Chains A and B, each alone.
Chain A
Amino acid sequence: MPADKSPEPESDERVVLSFELRREIDQIIGGNHHNYCYQCGACVAQCPAARFSDRFNPRLIMLDLLLGRADKLLAADSPIWLCTNCYSCYERCPQDVRPVEVIIALKNLAGRKGVAPDSVSLLTRNILKTGYSGVVTPVVHKTREKLGLDPLPEPPVDEMLELLDSGSDERDASAGPREEKTRERSHGETPAGNASQRRKK
Chain B
Amino acid sequence: MKLAPFLGCMIPIKYPQMEAAFRRSMPNLGVELVDLEGFTCCPDPIYFKARDALGWLTIAARNLSIAEEAGLPLVTLCSGCTATLKEARFLLGEDEELRARVNERLARIGREYRGTASVEHAVVVIRDEIGMDAVRESVKRPLEGMSVAIHYGCHLLKPSQIMHVDDADYPSILEDLVTAVGATPVAHQEELLCCGKGCLDDEMPVEMVYSIFSSIRNSEADCMGLICPTCFSSFDLGQIVVGRKKGVKFEIPIIYFFQLLGLAQGLPLEDVGLHLHKVKADDIVARLPSPA
Contacts and interface: CB of A to CB of B under 8 A. Distances in A.
A162 B109 contact: yes
Nearest to B55: A164
Between A111, A116, A159, the greatest number of chain B beta carbons within 10 A of the residue's beta carbon is seen for A159
Contacts of B207: 52
B273 A147 contact: yes
A86 interface: yes
Interface string A84-95: 111110110000
Contacts of B55: 163-165, 168-169
B50 A104 contact: yes
Interface stretch (B40-48, B117-125, B129-137, B170-178): B40-48
A191 B197 CA distance: 33
Nearest to B110: A159
B106 interface: yes
Interface stretch (B138-146, B155-163, B242-250): B155-163
Contacts of B106: 163
Contact of A111 (B19, B51, B101): B51
Interface size range of chain A in the complex: 35 or more
Given A155-B40, A156-B38, A187-B98, A144 B12 contact: yes
Contact of A49 (B108, B168, B204): B204
A88 B271 CA distance: 36
Interface stretch (A6-14, A36-44, A67-75, A123-131): A123-131
A143 B159 CA distance: 35
Interface in B10-41: 10, 12-14, 16-17, 19-20, 23, 37-41
Contact of A170 (B51, B98, B101, B201): B51
B47 to A, nearest CB: 4
Between A82, A134, A157, the greatest number of chain B beta carbons within 10 A of the residue's beta carbon is seen for A134
B70 interface: no
Contact of B159 (A83, A91, A132, A162): A91
Contacts of A199: none
Interface in A115-167: 116-117, 119-121, 123-124, 127, 131-136, 140, 143-144, 147-149, 152-153, 155-157, 159-160, 162-165
Given A144-B16, A156-B38, A187-B97, A84 B43 contact: no
A169 B203 CA distance: 29
B198 A155 contact: no
A123 B91 CA distance: 24
A160 B50 contact: no
Contact of B208 (A30, A52, A201): A52
A190 to B, nearest CB: 13
Contact of A116 (B20, B48, B51): B51
B52 A169 contact: yes
Between B46, B48, B51, B276, the greatest number of chain A beta carbons within 10 A of the residue's beta carbon is seen for B51
B196 interface: yes
Interface string A34-77: 00000000000000110011000000000000000000000000
Given A91-B168, A162-B109, A104 B49 contact: yes
Interface string B164-194: 0000100000000000000000000000011
Contacts of A159: 38, 62, 109
A86 B194 CA distance: 6
Interface string B205-216: 101100000000
Q: Which 4 A-B pairs have the closest CB atoms?
A: A85-B198, A87-B158, A107-B50, A86-B194
30 contacts: A29-B98, A30-B53, A48-B194, A53-B203, A83-B199, A84-B194, A86-B154, A87-B154, A104-B53, A108-B52, A120-B50, A121-B51, A123-B47, A132-B9, A140-B13, A147-B17, A147-B19, A147-B270, A147-B273, A156-B40, A157-B40, A159-B38, A159-B109, A160-B40, A162-B108, A163-B55, A168-B54, A180-B54, A184-B54, A187-B101
Given A133-B10, A163-B62, 5 more contacts: A84-B204, A105-B53, A147-B16, A163-B59, A163-B109
